[in-house]
Amino acid sequence: MLLVHVLFETWAQVMTGPTSEDPRVNLETAAQWPKTLKSGLYLLLAALTVGKVAADRLWHRFRTGADLALLVLGLVMVLAGVLNDSSLTLMGEALFVYFRGVLIFYALRAADIDEVMVRRLLLVVGALVGLNVLVAVVQMVVGEPAYSVLGWVDLTWAEQSRAQGLLSHPNHLGHVLGLALLGFIAWAAVNDRIRFVWWLVASVVALALSATQSRESLLGVLVAGVLVAILVPRGARRVLGVCLILLVCTMAQIVARPDNRAEWERRIGNVVAGVYNPAGSERSPQGTPTGAASRPAQSTPTGAASRPAQGTQPTPTAPKTSAGAVEPKPTARSSPTGAGSPSPTPAREIRVLYLQQVVDILPRQPLLGFGIGQFGGVVAQKNNPDWHKNPKLGPEGFNRYGFQAVQIDSFWLHLVMEVGILGLVVFLAWLVLIVWPLASPLLRARRPVPRPSNAAAMLWGVTAVVFAGVAAFLSPAFEDPLLPALLWAIVGIAWWARRSDREPEVLVGAANTASADPVSDPSGDPDTDSRMRSTEGTQAVLRGVRRPVPPD
């Protein structure tokens, strides 16, 4: 139910209340019940999970290195908050946003799921993904009418020829389709024979993904695909074939659609301009930063909708720019016609400017950062819209360049500024410990060892984490309203597959150990002795097994 809800949350807001045509509005005039319901479902899931673990005494399942790393990470985050005067409420809200998706991971580990339940879950979510694929393809072919008929009043993405499906942002749809395509890649890597119909389905998904023009999703799939080719060499050709299909579809979109091509050109140009005109270079000789007067980008940033600054109204006739670009207003000081005045600063990529500022500001408090809930996230924006003026960030604070996004468009920048280098290292260690139990059997399978029966599910879990890590450079990723729920559901299924794959090995090992125990028959019959040893060994194993695992 939770996974279904997150896939329909934004569209439900659009259909149940009025929205603004200004893409910077964070659906504040729309109904808020979908967000409240989502938070309630997360909390209910947490309560049911704790109750299940306590009732069935399943604490032993949660003594892994990943669980210990998560505990340490939580303590580091709390310590960073305490040392930076974050209130208990603020820390609680920040931790909830950071780890709400992880609740799904723990719920799946606590539940007694089986192959049938997993298949039903995948069928339900797969049907919703298929619906979004269909809508995305129609939007790609039909254009603006396919957006309006679904109730969207902000047609920014239609004007840029970027499909969004039933989701609020093309990058959200890119995340969903990227994870789905990685599921096919994982399955194709461990199966030697793939029917043509499945290749056709994967090609349609790749086409829909290319229609979103989600750069972070494209990079995430390609990086994860290369990793799969390394882990499973025998399936490398099939994996790289899927990656090639995605690349061809993406290039075809760029060549055939002028809007897409212009967007890529703007993006590349803005990145180059940001490198050659770094943050702070726009200051005039009098020391006044022209970035303060910069016009905010008109399109919604990746993974987080934005809203106009308080007390200001957007200009309807202003030309639109690409998301994440900053175009300063011409001023008397920056006018090219003014004698002796500096040249106007060109449009620059906002993520580049933010990264440059982080490099300058983080050394002030490098170890534990500036406190959770206090920098560039939805919690910081809600608690203090002027978070960027925090004196700890320096006399000039953090220059947002007029970009009034609710959340910084890079999870890794946001994380390191809130919890410092120590928090970043612990977070990465936690992800490694999440992935290692899934990747290690696949590495062993490269040698003459039987391949795990659930290798595809485990491989999907590994690639999903890699995908999210790559996307986190260009989006909120692990704090996103949609991606974490899908990500941790996939990882939870992968851990279930690993556990169900190991339990038969444990049974066989225990049976062999038990059967080796000396059991003597008073009659001295060797055949009877052997049967008694086998029977008692089997009974000893069955007494230690709570539930049999169905064969693959």
Give pLDDT, residue 191: 87
Q: Which residue type does 26 have?
A: N
Average pLDDT over residues 169-193: 93
Going from the C-alpha of 362 to that of each of 366, 371, 375, 393, 409, the distances in angstroms are 5, 12, 12, 8, 17
**Residues 418 and 61 sit within 8 Å (Cβ to Cβ):** no
- Find the mean pLDDT for residues 178-196: 92
> Is the pLDDT score of 310 beyond 50?
no
pLDDT of residue 502: 65
For the chain, the residue count is 552
Mean pLDDT in residue range 213-218: 94
Compute the Cα dihedral for 170, 176, 178, 180 and give only its sign: negative
Tell me the average pLDDT across 291-297. 36
Mean pLDDT of 178-204: 93
- What's the pLDDT at 489? 94
Q: What is the pLDDT of residue 153?
A: 79
Return the higher-pLDDT residue of 95 and 274: 95
Best CA proximity match to 4, nearest among 107, 98, 85, 122: 122
Angle between helices 170-190 and 236-256 (to 10 degrees): 150
pLDDT-derived band at 440, boundaries 50, 70, 90: confident
* Residue that is written with structure tokens 């006018």 in the block: 335
Confidence band of 481 (pLDDT split at 50, 70, 90): confident
What is the per-residue pLDDT for 95?
A: 95
For the stretch 492-537, pLDDT in tens is 999 998 888 765 544 444 444 444 444 444 444 444 444 444 444 4
Q: What's the mean pLDDT in 218-223?
A: 96
Say yes or no to pLDDT of 30 above 50.
yes
Across the chain, mean pLDDT equals 79
Q: Is a pLDDT exceeding 70 seen at residue 311? A: no
DSSP secondary structure string, 279-294?
A: TTTTB-TTS-BGGGGP
**What pLDDT, on the 0 to 100 scale, is given for residue 486?**
93
The residue with greater pLDDT, 36 or 84, is 84
| Cα–Cα distance, 425 to 335 (Å, whole number) | 45
Across the range 271-288, mean pLDDT stands at 71
pLDDT digits (tens, 9 = 90+) for 445-460: 555 443 556 889 999 9
Domain spans in the chain, listed from the N-terminal domain onward:
1-274+405-504
Confidence of residue 51 (pLDDT cuts 50, 70, 90): very high
Reply yes or no on whether the pLDDT at 346 is more than 90: no
Could you tell me the end-to-end alpha-carbon distance of the chain, in angstroms, rounded to an integer?
A: 27
| Top-confidence residue, 221 or 533 | 221
Q: How confident is the model at residue 406 (pLDDT cuts 50, 70, 90)?
A: confident
**How much is the pLDDT for 162?**
92
Whether residue 314 has pLDDT greater than 60: no
* Least-confidence region, from 7-11, 267-271, 473-477, 543-547: 543-547
Q: What is the pLDDT of residue 468?
A: 97
pLDDT in tens, 335-345: 333 434 455 77
Please give the full DSSP string across 359-409, using - where no structure is assigned. Answer: HHHGGGSTTTTT-TTSSSSHHHHHH-TTGGG-GGG-TT----TT--BSS-S
- C-alpha span between 456 and 351 (Å, rounded): 35
319 pLDDT tier (thresholds 50, 70, 90): very low
Highest mean pLDDT out of 166-175, 350-359, 464-473, 510-519:
464-473
Helices H / strands E in the chain, number of each: 19, 2
Query: Of the segments 376-390, 433-447, 485-499, which one has the largest average pLDDT value?
Result: 485-499
Provide the residue type at 287 as one letter: G
The residue among 149 and 367 whose pLDDT is bigger is: 367
Average pLDDT value for residue range 150-179: 89
Of 100, 109, 113, 95, the closest CA to residue 64 belongs to 109
On the question of pLDDT at 114 being above 80, the answer is yes
